[in-house]
Amino acid sequence: MKRSLCLTLALFAVAATAQRNRDRDWWQYGDHETIRQTYTISSGSGPAKLLVDNISGFIHVTGGAGSQVKVSVERSTRAESNEALAAAKRDVKLDMSQQGNSVRLYEDGPFRSRDGVNYRGDNYYGYRVAFDYDIQVPTDIELVLKTINNGDIVVKRTSGAFDVHGLNGGIEMQEVSGYGTVYTLNGKVNVSFTKNPVKDSEFHTLNGTVDVHFQPGLDADLHFHTLNGGVYADFDVTAIPTPGSEKSNGMFVYRSSRRQMDGRAGKGGPQLSFNSLNGSIRLYSKGI
């Protein structure tokens, strides 16, 4: 309980920061830059992987034919002074690299700490830098995408595994056929599969709805967890009773106070978890 309270407070703080970010748009010093880079995926160098580790700005990834990762990044900076603008240019960098078939785009800046991000607010730095990504990828590439503020994550037509983390933005995945994790805090999650996931997958938000479109005939084990929302599906879900599970200290738990349940669609299959604290979870099996 304490933990969720802390989390909630942290979220308020983050949301407040986001609000201030928008107010910073009147900062009159700014510049804009377009970065373009193409990486070639070669067949002999292992599976293709794209890692985008961003802090501010959107990430749009679209799958298509070909074996190239075409990156187009719009870098926009607003600053309170010319000095701050220069500092932003000096301190905030986009590291772009390729190692084997792995392409890595990493926003580096003074707000990076050894164990994560400690963004102290635009006012502290005197500037705000946003990187907005438009990336064309081969369809079967594996995706690891992270962003925090001022942007959503949109993925279209990929078939590889995915690990997508937002924080203050929604996540949309259209016509995907992989499996993996979708995780955000303040935003909607909307995923539509052209092929149902074959491995365990997770769809998680705190303040938003979760809409997932599957293909007809879904066979999966489902796990739902919500506090203030409802769970809806257009297919039959059989509730699986929770067996009294034994914890290591010899305690059996028959019912915990969390609002969660397990269910099964069709014959059962990979475990699909859906989690929204304050939103509804809606599952469709008729495609779009």
Partner 1 sequence: MMKRSLALLGLTFSFCALACAQETTGDRIVVPARDTTHPRVVNAKVTFGSLTVKAYNGKEVIVESQSAPGARRLPETYQGLKRIDMPHGGLEVTEEDNTIRIRATDPHPGGLTISVPVDTSLQLSSVHGAINVEGVHGDIDASTVHSDVTLTNVSGTVLANSTHGTIRVSMNSVDPGKPLSFATVHGDIDVTLPAGVKLNVKASSVQGAIYSDFEIALGRGQPATERNTSGSGLYRINLDRTINGTINGGGVEASFRTVHGKILLRKK
Residues that bind partner 1 (CB under 8 A): 224, 226-234, 237, 239, 241-244, 249-261, 263, 280, 282-284
Smallest gap from Cβ 206 to partner 1, in A, equals 16
The distance of closest approach from Cβ of residue 176 to partner 1 in the complex, given in angstroms and rounded to an integer, is 21
Pick the closer one to partner 1 by CB: 26 or 252.
252
**Residue 77 or 226 with smaller CB distance to partner 1:** 226
- CB burial of 261-280 (b: ≥16 within 10 Å; e: otherwise) equals bbbbbbeebeebbbbbbebe
For residue 167, CA distances in Å to 6, 151, 185, 186, 204 come to 16, 9, 5, 6, 11
Q: Which is nearer to partner 1, 46 or 243 (CB)?
A: 243
Buried residues in 72-111 as b, exposed as e (16+ CB within 10 A):
ebebbbbbbeeebbebbbeebebeeeeeebbbbbbbebeb
- For the CB of residue 194, give the shortest distance to partner 1 in the complex, in Å: 21
If you write DSSP's letter for every residue of 259-271 in order, what string do you get?
A: -EEEEEETT--SE
Nearer to partner 1, 76 or 280 (CB): 280
C-beta closer to partner 1: residue 195 or 259: 259
Burial class (CB in 10 A: 0-12, 13-18, 19+), 235: middle
Provide the minimum distance between the beta carbon of 287 and partner 1 in the complex, in angstroms, as a whole number.
14
Q: How far is the CB of 187 from partner 1 (least distance, A)?
A: 20
CA 208 – CA 185 distance, rounded (Å): 8
